[in-house]
Amino acid sequence: MAHEPTYDDYVERIHYSEKYTDDKWEYRHVILPKPLLKMIPKTYFDPDEPGVLRILTDQEWRSIGITQSLGWEHYEVHAPEPHILLFRREKDFQDKYGAGGKR
């Protein structure tokens, strides 16, 4: 008998894009399984755009199951696809700060 997917089941299905860059930033997008959006705290959503996440802090996006190395910031949401979160960090972050991210 199949069980209803749990929060952890959805977290395991989070997709991380390959990284891409411009002159200043390294970017990646993170795609959340759509059912996971329904399990995220309501306070993480933009009060002016129902169903669309606001910009999340490092602690907030990590708390919903996103795992990335240090230095990444959630910088953009795309309202038509609210399950896709856009992240960036300084292009040479690891060269400057190392894997530990100390400034």
pLDDT tens by residue, 72-94:
999 999 888 999 999 999 998 87
**What is the domain range of residue 57?**
7-97
Inter-residue contact 83 to 59 (CB < 8 Å): no
What is the total count of domains within the chain?
1
Residue by residue, DSSP assigns 27-83 as EEEEE--HHHHTTS-GGGB-TTSTT-B-PPPHHHHHHTT----TT-EEEEE-TTSTT
Q: Domain of 92: which CATH number?
A: 3.30.170.10
pLDDT at position 97: 79
* pTM as predicted: 0.87
pLDDT at position 2: 67
103 lies in a domain?
Answer: no
